[in-house]
Every structure is written in structure tokens, then in C-alpha cells.
Structure 1
Amino acid sequence: MVTTLPLFAVTIDCPDPAGLARFYRAFLGGELSFSPNEDFTALVVDGSVRLDFQRVANPAPTRWPEPGAARRLHLDFVVDDLDQAEKHLLGIGAVLADFQPGGRRYRVLFDPAGHPFCIATRSAASIREHA
């Protein structure tokens, strides 16, 4: 018998959980839920995707792409218009990465805590495009 283990959240370590959650809410929308001790904030988007933000006091992250950096996870988001989404994200605190390996297909940015994430058009995000 196979047991299904559904993913219920992605947790992002950061020094300011509430601040980073507000950044992602300004981009994705959704509902915020704060913990009483300020060390944890959750963002539920569309009632099904949950991003958790957990306080971890750590030094500034290594810049991407850094071959010697620890392995990391990053988030990818589909947007309708790359230029418009980039402009909005820069306006709410994101930083555009100097190195852009996707050309015109996708963009790499950093959130206010320094985590890399990508925005891509629906066609660029298609599994068929990566196969």
C-alpha cells in the first residue's frame, strides 16, 4: 500500500518573518497568519498554497550563482508579463540578479532577505520546455 504524503507548506528561513511574508503577499496576494512570538508567519495563497516564514538569525545569504554556496531551494512563479511583474517586484523590494541565464524566457530576482526566486511566462514554465 502506498501512502500519499501531500505537501502542505514550503518554509523559508529568514531574519524577519513578518516582513518577508508581507513582501510575498504584495506579490501573490493571500492571507497572513502571525504567531504570538513573532518568530513565524504563514501566507496562504488561493486557499491551497502555504508559504511559511520562520525566524533564523543567519548572516547575509551567499549571492547567486555562487558555485561554493550551500545547496538551496528557490521558488518559481508564473506571471503574465515579465516586464510588468519585474517592475512591480522591484517596487516592493526585490532586487534583480546580475546574472540572468534565462534570457527573455525568465528572470532571476532576490527577495528582501536575499533568497533567489524566478518569474517566468506560462510557456517558459511548461515542463515541455525543460524536457
Structure 2
Amino acid sequence: MALVKAAVVVLDCAEPHKLAHFYRQLLDGELSGDASADLVEVRSADGVRIAFRRDGNATPPSWPRPESTLQAHLVLLVEDLDEAERRVVDLGGLPIETRDPAGPYEERGYADPAGHSFTLRLSLPPED
């Protein structure tokens, strides 16, 4: 029996409830924690869990600038890149990597409203 049952990615930010609202809408999930909470979590129907912790000194990551390193990065699997991109931008996300990436995946890079980077990656249907 596995000791660890699940994992939660926690992103530091100045306004956890505001950032959780962005991801709640993007993932069509449920929010746990109120506006004054220092830790707010979003859970999607598919079991994705992301939490947001208040850090009064939080500064946005500077990736993808060449002098910076990638501290953490979310990859969100989607069935339609164009539709997902429209949703991200409508919710306040920003495209940060618009060129077609080299490699085996179709993906696009974005920043959430607090500046954390994430990738939308095309999820191919399973082969029968």
C-alpha cells in the first residue's frame, strides 16, 4: 500500500484567493478556503489539486528570461489548445511563449495573473 496518497502543488503569492479564483475557473474546480485564508486550495473534478499560500514578499518569477531559472512550472493537459488559450486570456493569463516549441509536444507557455508560468500541452487521445 502506498504511503503517499496524493500531492498538492503550492504556489506562493501575495493574494491567494485571487489567484485561486483564476485556477478555479480554468480547471472548472471547487475552492476551499475563504478570502482571508493564508492557504487556499482548488480541486478539479478530475482530481487535480493546486494550493496558493500567502507570502507578503512574493515576487513573480522572471522566467523565461535567459538569465533566470525555472523555479516551478505547471503543465496542464488540454484537448484543444486554441480554446484553452482563449480561456486563459479571458481569465487574465498572459501568453509568454508564442513560438512553436521544438519537441514531441504541441504546447504553449503562459503566466497566471501573479506571474507563475504554466504550459498548456495538447493531450492526445489514448491509442486503442
User: How does the TM-score come out when normalised to structure 2?
Assistant: 0.81
**Partner Cα distance (2:69, 2:63) in 1:** 11
Q: Which runs of 5+ in 2 are unaligned?
A: none
- Post-superposition offset of 1:122: 1.1
Inter-CA distance 61–101: structure 2 relative to 1 (3 Å threshold): farther
Contact 1:97 1:109 in 2 (8 A): yes
Q: CA deviation at 1:5?
A: 2.6
* 1:23-52 CA-partner distances (Å, limit 9, x unpaired): 001110111111584211111112632211
Distance 1:41 1:97 in 2: 26
Query: Cα gap change, 1:14/1:100 in structure 2, threshold over 3 Å: closer, same or farther?
Result: farther
TM-score (norm 1): 0.79
Indicate how the Cα distance of structure 1 residues 91 and 36 shifts in structure 2: closer, same or farther if over 3 A, else same. closer
How many pairs were matched up?
Answer: 124
Structure 1 residue ranges without an equivalent (≥5): 127-131
Shift of 1:60: 3.1
Equivalence for 1:61: 60
Structure with higher helix content: 1
Partner of 1:76: 75
- Identical columns (%): 33
Query: Counterpart amino acid of 2:117?
Result: P
Structure 1 residue 8 displacement after superposition: 2.8
1:20 matched to 2:19: yes
Judged with a 3 Å threshold, the aligned counterparts in structure 2 of structure 1 residues 38 and 110 are, in CA distance, closer, same or farther, namely same
Structure 1's consecutive aligned runs of 4 or more residues displaced over 6 angstroms after TM superposition are none
Say whether the 8 Å CA contact 2:100–2:106 is kept in structure 1.
Answer: no
Using the TM superposition, give the Cα deviation of residue 16 of structure 1 relative to its aligned residue in structure 2, in angstroms.
0.6
CA RMSD of aligned residues (A): 2.6
1:34 matches 2:33: yes
